[in-house]
Structure 1
């Protein structure tokens, strides 16, 4: 965490020191994490072996699998935002649609899983509307004060142009200042941003800001090395040396044996030895190591291996037990994400462009839905059993096929209204008693209209 005392100004020298520290952190920490996600592992950068030795380089991208699996489980079903205030709900829906926020949330969640944290920045675009975008820790950093509250003081965004010149911006609670680094930092223009606070939010994967596969990265490297050596052994046995003892072959004879794959000797062959030269077979040891590493990678990362053949045979509560560790991770991430979203809408509503009251953000409620495999039949049975015990809203929450409980209740009410329509009554072949409100059908059976 980059921190600055309240009484200390962020001048050119101080900003330059922060940029240097950020560059070092990007190279030594964030770049290896991104490389792992992009299948660029240490096995590809080891010194080459001699030409006469097999030199396979195989990488199994557990990092990408872990990140994408967790991301699909955590935010594969988009976050639902509800609000009893229709004006606020309408603006939030427009804001999210305008900024493709479902996609932004998914990308921000993935960035947090890779790096341990990610950033979201807010601005007023050329159309006069509020824009939201995400940034990786390699592209930006936040500077906090030195108090126990860790209040954001500055948000620094960086980019390099085609001439390899560093550009950036520094946002504080009132304005945005732009700069360029040409040997030294040169300030350019500045402008007010209109938000009541630093217009950016840091989202965290966890309190330690640790990427989801970061604890198992050494295991992934060991797995890649083990499976590459396994492939090398396969090549070695396919190209094993032929050992012939007891006679000396001419070069033409050796070529004949190699090309025609025929060995034919006459005379006394009792002392003649013809066999392949083999090194000790470590297949069982290699397999045990590979299996142990694979099991540990998923166990320590706490992400389920849903591709395992035994995983698909589980159902109901047994399946949820297998996903319990990943569900616990998702709950921790959910709390961190909720904190970030609270700051998002607090800042956005503070800008006059939004047209909202500053405190309207407290009316928003966020619902995260873990992407469990759905059993519709089981859900419908549970919902049916809740009839008469809970409210209709609670019943509908059980059903994963219902995207919006409030909209579903409104649709049910509209359908009930339609049964009171005279045309509908005529279709059902009955009339409604005006005093009792009961539909009397030709079969003398009564139902509520």
Structure 2
């Protein structure tokens, strides 16, 4: 759960839609859903920025973020966690009516599909050919890639990327922080480690300048800790070279006081990196919150109708033919209770109150006989039935199906529960069904790559200072691949790989293609192949075998032409 919804009750309840008009939820409320400045990008005119005034800037933007942007982020996090606005619906139903509040799981499903489709197989880091940068040999490139691989393993990069992607899908933005720690080395010295953590978008923001490149001026990470019912806010600001720690404050509006001298961080840029889900910084399902609210209300009302139907009112016409066993206290002419000789109350059968056992499965009815004024009688036939309203089940289903279809269409999310989605669809048919998802994925992967490449440049700058790599610009040659996480058909993958070999593709290309089936990275597979050739030079090589087959086929074909 996000920090703001677990510790900061004020932030949580600010996102809850209290005070709406009767019989309405937020989707029907007039006006906009969020504050007009709830997704504002923070900027300071370049000519007016002075790091000496950093505390004033942090105080100003901290107040704005807490009062204007946090509500939107907390609301989106609530929806992802299944706590949508339907739970706070002011339906104004009577106490004897069903009033269910059912939240759907569409936000969680869409986010899970988007994260798994884009990053389920992880990111592949590759280095371009050394010829792309004159003067760079393979040893330097190999050293860089080894450092990146070690760094990724140390920070648990696969989990980090999925956490960032989930935050992007939910809130439209994500933040990560690079920092250093010190650990003892084997020779008695101290080792400086580069660490990375993902920040909750409810507790972080970045302020940019107004240049065309919009470089970041500083980033802020703040959070609240509620210990022993005493809330305290902790605030830290990061500039291109320094880290400013502030004394804990009681509320966001309090003045900020530095806690000691600023620290150096040696990353060369602001170590907080902001990721964007799209240019508008919107979540994957945020534009469809109205549809999600409509679906929640529809299924809640369906559940209410079903429950009201099961609690229908029994209507009885005629008389109930049951023993008159209900008793009442005997009263005298003066209206006072009558007592017997022992001083106990005297009871008698009440002829007007027959005993009715409501738990019995059998009810005996008899016609009512009414005496007329002319001496005749009128017989009223008896009947018993439940007073219910007719449930339009087909209409409910059509309405819900239409909402679901609109949600998945608008968000370009495949609905795998649709009976027409899978089946025996061909590869081309499946490609068309995933066409919309692929367009979104490509755009989002490009934006995601910008954040990861910025991370690598920060780390490379630190490595350059420590002489771990000779040139920090080498990292600009690193490219990122995002293989889609689709249902696997290993047999088809291996067959296609063999066809690639026959077509003359390089081992590097084929091994990269086979990663989806084997789970072994391209570089590792090539190393295995190299060691195998060195340790057993007489072993038959698959490429050689395929080349021989190809040459033989060409020879056979030539003979047929001669004949």
Normalised TM-score (structure 2): 0.71
1:54 aligns with 2:98: yes
In structure 1, the residue matched to 2:223 is 159
Larger Cα Rg: Structure 1 or Structure 2?
2
1:143 matches 2:207:
yes
Paired residues, number: 423
Q: Alpha carbons of 1:217 and 1:72: their partners in 2 closer, same or farther (altered >3 Å)?
A: same
> Is the contact between residue 348 and residue 354 of structure 1 (CA under 8 Å) also seen in structure 2?
no
Separation of aligned partners in 1, 2:93 and 2:233: 39
Cα RMSD (Å): 2.4
Compared CA separation, residues 287 and 16, structure 1 to 2 (3 A): same
Inter-partner Cα distance in structure 1 for 2:223 and 2:96: 46
CA contact (8 A) 1:256 1:262 kept: no
Structure 2 spans left out of the alignment, 5+ residues: 1-40, 128-137, 184-191, 327-352, 369-378, 541-563
1:398 equivalenced with 2:513 (yes/no)? yes
Which residue does the alignment assign to 2:43? Answer: 3
Q: Is this contact kept in 2: 1:240–1:277, CA < 8 A?
A: yes
Residue aligned with 2:208, SS = strand
Match of 1:316 in 2: 427
Per the TM alignment, residue 191 of structure 1 is displaced from its structure 2 partner at its CA by: 0.8
Q: Does 1:372 align with 2:495?
A: no
Counterpart contact for 1:169–1:176, Cα < 8 Å: yes
Deviation readout 1:252-294 (Å, 9 max, x if unpaired)? 6787363213232224665434221122433222221111111
- In structure 2, relative to structure 1, the CA distance for the partners of 1:12 and 1:302 (3 Å cut) is same
The answer to whether the Cα contact below 8 Å between 1:69 and 1:303 also exists between their aligned partners in 2 is: yes
1:217 to 263, 284, 289: 289
Alpha carbons 1:130, 1:353 under 8 Å: kept: no
Decide whether the 8 Å contact of 2:319 with 2:366 is kept in 1.
no
Q: SS state of the match for residue 213, structure 2? A: coil
* Partner residue in 1 for 2:384: 274
Moved more, 183-192 or 257-266: 257-266
Where does residue 39 of structure 1 map in the other structure? 82
Q: Deviations over 1:75-97 (max 9, x none)?
A: 01111112351110111111111
Moved more, 360-369 or 271-280: 271-280
| Off by >6 Å, runs of 4+ in structure 1 | 248-255
Aligned to 2:164: 108
> Which secondary structure does the structure 1 equivalent of 2:49 belong to?
coil
**Whole-angstrom CA distance in 2 between matches of 1:226 and 1:27:** 29
Q: Which moved more, 1:57-66 or 1:9-18?
A: 9-18
Match in the other structure for 1:339? 450
Q: What pairs up with 1:32-431 in 2 under 5 angstroms?
A: 32-47=75-90, 49-83=93-127, 85-127=141-183, 128-161=192-225, 162=227, 163-180=230-247, 181-182=249-250, 183-189=254-260, 190-247=262-319, 256=356, 258-267=358-367, 271-313=381-423, 314-351=425-462, 352-353=465-466, 355-356=468-469, 357-386=471-500, 387-399=502-514, 400-402=516-518, 403-420=520-537
Instruction: Give the structure-1-normalised TM-score.
Output: 0.88
| Alpha-carbon distance in 2 for matches of 1:420, 1:288 | 68
Most deviating of 110-119 and 239-248:
239-248
Partner of 1:434: none
Matches of 2:354 and 2:161, distance apart in 1:
66
1:39-85: per-residue Cα shift (whole Å, max 9, x none)?
11111112363220011121121111110111011101111112351
CA distance in structure 2 between the partners assigned to 1:280 and 1:79 by the alignment? 55
